[in-house]
Amino acid sequence: MPLFDLRCNECNQEFTKMISYAKLADSKCPHCNSNNHERVYKANIKGPITSGSGSSGYTPPTSGFT
């Protein structure tokens, strides 16, 4: 099941729920028990984070195709 980041429109608290998309509208805020919430979209950063020197030393793998 996917994780959803949500913000309650009643108490303004953010929370994360592991729930199916079909049941997302029925989920309740763990703080105030309201089901009036909206999805919060956050940046999802994957991969190495470098210090900004411009050269990470990373070489992508080759696929074998030329």
45: in domain: no
23: in domain: yes
- Does the predicted model carry a pTM greater than 0.75? no
State the total domains in the chain.
1
Question: Residue 7: beta bridge partners?
Answer: 14, 38
Q: What is the CATH number of the domain that holds 12?
A: 2.20.28
Separation of alpha carbons 20 and 18, rounded Å: 7
Phi-psi region of 37 (alpha: psi -120 to 50; beta: other; left: phi over 0): beta
* Res 13: pLDDT: 95
Instruction: Name the residue range of residue 21's domain.
Output: 3-39
For the stretch 8-33, pLDDT in tens is 999 999 999 999 999 998 999 999 99
Question: Residue 16: beta bridge partners?
Answer: 5
